[in-house]
Structure 1
Amino acid sequence: MLSVALQHAFPGGFALDLAFEAPSEGVTVLFGPSGCGKSTVLAAVAGLLRPDHGRVALDGAVLLDTAARIALPPEARRCATVFQDARLFPHMSVDSNLRYGLRRAPRGAAGPAFEEVVALLGIGHLLGRRPAGLSGGERQRVALGRALLARPRLLLMDEPLAALDSGRRAEVLPFLARLRDAARLPILYVTHALDEVDALADHLVLLREGRILAHGRPEDLTARTDLPLAARRDAGVLLPVCVLGHDPHGGITRLGFPGGELVTSLRPEAPGSVMRLRLRARDVAVATEEPRNISTRNILPVRLVAIAPAAEAREVFLHLAIGPTIILARVTQDSVERLGLAPGRDLWALIKAVTFDHAGLPEPRR
């Protein structure tokens, strides 16, 4: 278990005051707007910032305890950091950059072998090149490999994809997912990009102005309409799904989830694959009677369990239950009044198959 408790006041009035615990394996994402303290938390955990008061412990090993006057130096904490800028040595080849990380690993420390990391990140064909000859996405993959080969106890990632364009981000995300599942160590990951949360987070910590608003499983937090996530136009739930089968002729894939099934555009994943996808509230409509003879493939019986205000005036969120699963629909107040919607009413949720154009990466292993 990673345990973090920090208090620190900066000149100008900003103050950090937070505490959270995260699993010993998997990705804990610190999420929030710029300036909320995400990178400051990483700096304190890494030993690059000495907070006024705080305690950081990993699996019982104390890295920082200001009350007990314990503050391990950065090199003794065994935290490897990946930044926005890959920070590779420009005069070294990819091979040499990677082996630099391996030389920094403590003697006898367990971790993946050089060949395993190269295969994991798909960088074998790059070993002879220098950083100047790499794309931004390739440089970040090498930086990930170098960090992993240092065999850290904790991997820190400070917005590692922020400097990449959308194409390069899409290139690197699958490799980050592979690393998450193969590294078997805690990863503290800073971002303000929701697609990275969807793809990578095992545990989510929401920050605002140096404080924690909520933390827990991303599937749980994305279903809450009392958090800032709900103020986004892409607000919606993260849905764990299993690929049930494909119909190549019709161009569709069937996805199962607790309580029901969905049909989406044909996906490349094999039957039995497990992944997460974002079901945006704005893409869900409701009907009081079962619609017939329409193009929408997903017509699901649901029960309206709650109506909550949305950030926009005269819009609301409908909390819809499909068995044990809750999904959200964003509708106008006019629709609530016209249809006479109230908690407890049985409805039909309508979701177009082409809605899921950004289906998520494989679900994090629990």
Structure 2
Amino acid sequence: MFNLFKKKPAQPDAQAAAAAPPQTDPISPEAAATDAASRPASWRERLAGSALARSLGGLIRRETPIDANLLDDIETCLLTADVGVAASEEVMAELRRAVDRKAITSAAALVEHLRAKLVSMLQGVSSPLNIESGQKPFVILTVGVNGVGKTTTIGKLARRFADERKSVILAAGDTFRAAAVEQLQQWGERNQVPVIAQGQGADSAAVIFNAMQAAQSRQADILIADTAGRLHTQAGLMDELAKVKRVLGKLDAGAPHEVLLVIDGTTGQNAVHQVRQFSKAVAVTGLVVTKLDGSAKGGVIFALAREFGIPIRFVGLGEKVHDLRSFDADAFVGALLPDHLLDVAG
């Protein structure tokens, strides 16, 4: 017998329905792609293709036996990735000691020890550029050989400082390379930053002197001076670079406050010679290592850190403006030996 008094299913209350959180439309593939393209890539994404990351990742697996053959392979990997003989020997000596005292008995422990050692080698040079508010304008002199990405680095720095609400002036001191002045002017227009320039062939020191006067009169926060891409083996050009530094000192005894040497990450051990020669000419205070994305070996950073101890201010991880990153030792080594490698090895 049917129950004629059976209750009907309750109707949803209008107020409760109104209070319910609204349903959101799913993100379209096009929007998701746009979001992904606009966000800065991670260190791991940028460095995954480097020779050092690929070779280290290819050596260590869960079943990898911890023996002399593996250690020899790791040493070969470091050497071929431009870490340098001295730095590689330092790393391997510590790993072999750890293996001998049974502190490393698994692939996961090996990764952890290797990561810790590599980070420790870079901690002393992982130092961001500090723009001193008491120095106005704060003068950054950029130097480096041809083709390292010096002018592009200046443009990216200008954007970075402009985003931080600092007033910036650029000095087109590379009057030797064809179209170098125009290239810097394009960066200035893109970032809405004034550029002090003369024509190609003008005296570089005079251009930078005029730019310094302009920065002082306009009370600019930062002056970034470009210079010609000099070959470190040409003494005359290096002397001219020293002249630029002296000219700046006439207007401000403390200038330049930062001398940034731009190094191409694909250069290898030649970068060591460049740092040595430029440091003699202008007392380099900071390094920028570019082109670390893609197939760059990247190991030269360890060689530079061990040899000179000069702060690494920035690294270039790609073509986009925000791919110029403040150097971070933990992030850099973490990209070379990422967490997922421990998952595989452990």
Q: Same fold (TM over 0.5)?
A: no
State the structure with bigger RCO (CA 8 A, min sep 6), 1 or 2: 2
With the length of structure 2 as denominator, give the TM-score of the two structures: 0.29
With the length of structure 1 as denominator, give the TM-score of the two structures: 0.28
Q: Which structure's residues are more often strand, by fraction?
A: 1
Q: Whose Rg is larger? A: 2
Q: Which structure's residues are more often helix, by fraction?
A: 2
